[in-house]
Amino acid sequence: MGSERVVVTGLGFVTPMGNDIETVWSNLVAGRSGVGPLTRFDASAYPTRIAAEVRDFTAEEYMDRKTARHASRYCRYALAATRQALDHAALDPSGLDPDAVGVLLSSAVGGMEEIERGQTTLLARGPRWISPFTTPMMIADMAAGMIAIHFRAGGPNFAVVSACASSAHGIGEAAEIIRRGQAAAMIAGGAEAAITPLTMAAFCQIQAVSQRNDDPTGACQPFNLGRDGFVMGEGAVVLILEAAEHAAMRGARALAEIVGYGATADMHHFTAPEPEGRGAARSMQQALARSGLAPSDVGYINAHGTSTKLGDIAETKAIRTVFGAHAGRLAVSSTKSMSGHMLGAAGAFEAAATVLALDRGVLPPTINLDDRDPECDLDYVPNQARPVRVDLALSNSFGFGGHNACLAIRRADAA
């Protein structure tokens, strides 16, 4: 107990970058943006009219009609990404002890579209016309519940909520569940479908989202001087985490190993990061300490890097604090420059991108980086993917509320 090594054996994607692993990877390496005009609703009255939307997704390819009908959009994405990840890992929970496989699937806001629809019906027609499925569709833990039902995974089952760090915390906590021997494998990740009228209006009012409506693919510019905020994304990403022994026993290939996890609070503000990035730095230090590896072993950081003025600078300072002189020797990139910000699914997307970067020996770039902010003075892998073999990487995720999470991920054959 407590000493299990935890490996990643499967990945699944429903994202603005593609709905399968190879499409996502080729788009990441090509530096292709998933951002486009916002089409989920009429955004003509909004200052922001762009988003990174999931496209060409058909729920019925992954689930029966009734399940699709009673699952909110974020749950449909989660079920589809889980199907892919289990297939990738060649893992079938229904053939195992019911306690063996758990689910920790996070969403930052849950079924916002269904909440808004219910509210509209309530005001227009009254309480008796509210669908009995409103509650199961709105709650943010339902993806975890539906995955357990659908795939017969009866182990620990819940959601972790920490805004934009939700699924990074979820993966970290899921790895701890395996480490303490409570499950042999965990279906871990995040799902979000919050490109809705209310959520978009709310983010516009914070002035946190880019208004570069005439240039969607160029809108998200992490670490670039001209950046004007993040781009709202959506989707689901699922990782199959597994005790290394369990994976080896059944002959599953490890893509990477989760070797450390840090979690801290900024103690500063609702939405603004602590300007010196001290909370973020402590989360990276914790993840490294848990891994037993040295800062100088880190070759790549998948940054939170949302493309906000304050956030990108605070994260840069945090990396300098943790790594000192080594900060100038490691590569940092923000895949949000391409994927947009998938909120509760962002941490899982970035952990998965990091796993692929380690496994395939290519670092995805930060696109739209032509005029670096002088206060952002690291190597951000600008605009071009970089073939390089890295042994150890970090994936940073920070959420409104001042929640910080960091995952330390090692190349599978680097141990």
In single-letter form, the type of residue at position 139 comes to: I
Q: How far is the CB of 117 from other proteins (least distance, A)?
A: 14
Contact pick of 21, 100, 130, 204 for other proteins (by CB under 8 A): 130
Catalytic annotation, pick one of 169, 341, 376, 403: 341
Q: 164 catalytic, yes or no?
A: yes
CA distances from 232 to 2, 39, 202, 220, 359 (A): 38, 12, 12, 10, 28
* Chain position carrying tokens 């997307």: 349
Q: Could you tell me how many helices (H) and strands (E) the chain has, helices first?
A: 13, 14
Q: Does 158 bind other proteins (CB under 8 A)?
A: no
Helices 278-291 & 309-323 angle (0-180, nearest 10)? 40
DSSP code per residue over 42-100: --TTSS--EEB---S--GGGTS-HHHHHHS-HHHHHHHHHHHHHHHHHT--GGGS-TTT
CB of 121 to other proteins, least distance (A): 11
Q: Per CB under 8 A, does 124 bind other proteins?
A: no
Binding segment for other proteins (CB under 8 A), chosen from 121-129, 146-154, 164-172, 185-193, is 121-129
Regarding 110 and contact with other proteins (CB under 8 A), the answer is no
- Confirm or reject binding of residue 272 to other proteins (CB under 8 A): no
* Residue 406 falls in the annotated catalytic set: no
In this structure, the strands spanning 101-106 and 185-192 are parallel
Tell whether residue 67 is a contact of other proteins (CB under 8 A): yes
Tokens in use for 356? 């692929």
What is the phi/psi pair of residue 360, to 5°?
-105, -5
Shorter beta-carbon distance to other proteins: residue 1 or 65: 65
126 binding other proteins? (CB under 8 A) = yes
Is 268 labeled as catalytic in the residue annotation? no
User: Tokens representing 339?
Assistant: 């994927």
- Determine, following the binding rule CB under 8 A, whether residue 41 of this chain makes contact with other proteins: no
Binding test (CB under 8 A) with other proteins, winner from 136, 156, 273, 402: 136
Torsion sign (Cα): 212, 217, 220, 224: negative
Min dist. Cβ of residue 80 to other proteins (A)? 17
| Residue from 276, 259, 258 nearest 267 by CA | 276
Instruction: Retrieve residue 370's tokens.
Output: 């032509």
Distances (CA, A) of 35 to 32, 95, 311: 9, 40, 20
Smallest distance, Å, CB 223 to other proteins?
Answer: 47
List the structure tokens of 189.
């990740």
**Residues 204, 48 contacting (CB under 8 angstroms):** yes
Q: From the list 131, 296, 383, 384, which residue makes contact with other proteins (rule: CB under 8 A)?
A: 131
> In angstroms, what is the minimal distance from the CB of 64 to other proteins?
7
Nearer to other proteins, 130 or 414 (CB): 130
* # residues contacting other proteins (CB under 8 A): 16
For residue 66, state whether it binds other proteins (rule: CB under 8 A).
yes
Question: Which residue among the candidates 75, 304, 376, 403 is catalytic per the annotation?
Answer: 304
Cα 29 to chain centroid distance, Å, stands at 18
Question: CB-wise, 135 or 384, nearer to other proteins?
Answer: 135
> Does 128 engage in binding with other proteins (CB under 8 A)?
yes
Q: For the CB of residue 112, give the shortest distance to other proteins in the complex, in Å.
A: 19
Alpha carbon distance 143, 141 (integer Å): 6
Question: Residue 133, interface with other proteins (CB under 8 A)?
Answer: yes
Q: How far apart are CB 65 and other proteins at their closest, in Å?
A: 4
Residue nearer to other proteins on the CB measure, 136 or 311: 136
For other proteins, the binding residue among 2, 22, 44, 65 (CB under 8 A) is 65
Query: Counting contacts by CB under 8 A, is residue 2 touching other proteins?
Result: no
Q: Which is closer to other proteins, CB of 113 or CB of 274?
A: 113
Closer by beta carbon to other proteins, 65 or else 214:
65
Note the residue count of the chain: 415
36 vs 81, 294, 305, 325, CA distance in Å? 22, 41, 19, 39
Q: How near is the Cβ of 72 to other proteins at its closest, in Å?
A: 14
CA 349 to chain centre: 4
Q: List interacting residues with other proteins (CB under 8 A).
A: 64-67, 69-70, 126-133, 135-136
Catalytic residues: 164, 304, 341
